[in-house]
Structure 1
Amino acid sequence: MARFRSTGRLRLGTSVSTQINTRQYERGLRRWFGGMSDDVKRAVEATRIDVQNEARRRVPVKTGRLRSSIVSRAEGSGRSVGYVIGTNVVYAAAIEYGLDEFDIFPKKKKALYWPGAAHPVAKVHHPGIKAQPYLRPAIEMTEIFWRAHASQIGRR
């Protein structure tokens, strides 16, 4: 049975990492079919693409910038291969985890003003942003995608 491990980081943008330990699964395959490590790597690669596409499918779209910035890459070597999926868009974490309400104050001036405002104001209240998870639910589907691709190993 393959083991799954996920880690989440919250920095500039958002990324989630998943590691699939295929050691036990591959041992069983080697017993039955011989050296299948290339097939296992292809199954991990297909799983990575499916998870990336699932995150892109789930992300809320306003301009498409966040969706198009979601990328993934393979990591690891030998019998411990995995992938990282994420984005470098600054507001990605706010969409994934949401934001509490907050007040916006001027940094250099005494008041805030923008075109269309009736008058300058000392502060603006931001109501916050409701969380709209897209990376975490996609990562949670790793096992489903893995099982689908792993079941095809040796059938090609």
Structure 2
Amino acid sequence: MAVSGSFSMDARQFERGLRRWVGRLSTESKRAADRTGTRVQNEARRRAPVDTGRLRSSIVSRSEDRGRTYDVTVGTTVTYAEDVENGTAPHRIYPRTKRALYWPGAAHPVAYVDHPGTAPHPFLAPAVAMAETFLREELARAGRRVR
């Protein structure tokens, strides 16, 4: 052979280095997922309609490490959020504690009101749809930091 080469490797040292590198990558992946959750949260807040600001401020991102999986959830606990996201069908509104409904300007008390429904105003679904793009961008940044 005109040209040859050889090398030796300490397998234990190689495995330790590999574990450190994978651990660092895993940490960076989790950070990328957290940053993605924050970006989805911000996008949902940007898209949310504002009347009082309660819905917008209630949108949060939470992450949970489950060992082999890392879950990121973006959502809200405001009870009317689903109605805003998906809209409502026409429905009747009945009084809760009284026998009739009355408001300033009404001609007289009424037993119920026919509500025409509301149009959907999606804010969370479009933001979640952007998660894959956000995650790719964040992982690309993480890859540049790990190397």
- TM interval, shorter chain, is 0.7 to 0.9
In the aligned structure 2, how far is the partner of 1:131 from the partner of 1:118?
31
Deviation of 1:129 (Å): 0.9
Corresponding residue for residue 103 of structure 1: 92
Report whether the alignment pairs 1:116 with 2:121. Answer: no
Corresponding residue for residue 51 of structure 1: 40
TM-score normalised by length of structure 2: 0.77
Q: Which runs of 5+ in 2 are unaligned?
A: 1-16
Corresponding residue for residue 84 of structure 1: 73
Q: Which structure: larger Rg?
A: 2
Deviation of 1:107 (Å): 4.6
**Which deviates further from its counterpart, 137-146 or 118-127?**
118-127
Deviation of 1:41 (Å): 1.0
TM-score normalised by length of structure 1: 0.73
Deviation of 1:88 (Å): 1.3
Q: Which runs of 5+ in 1 are unaligned?
A: 1-29
Q: Kindly tell me: are residues 141 and 119 of structure 1, through their superposed partners in 2, closer, same or farther at Cα, counting changes over 3 Å?
A: same
Deviation of 1:66 (Å): 0.4
Percent of aligned pairs with the same amino acid: 52
Cα deviation digits, residues 82-138 of structure 1 (max 9, x gap): 211111111111101111011123355443222221112232111111111111111
**Cα RMSD for the two superposed structures:** 2.1
What is the aligned length?
Answer: 126
Corresponding residue for residue 130 of structure 1: 119
**SS, match of residue 114 in structure 1:** coil
Cα deviation digits, residues 33-75 of structure 1 (max 9, x gap): 9321111111111111101111101111111110001111102
In the aligned structure 2, how far is the partner of 1:129 from the partner of 1:155?
46
**Which deviates further from its counterpart, 122-131 or 100-109?**
100-109
* Structure with a larger share of its residues in helix: 2
Deviation of 1:152 (Å): 1.4
Segments of 4+ moved more than 6 angstroms:
none
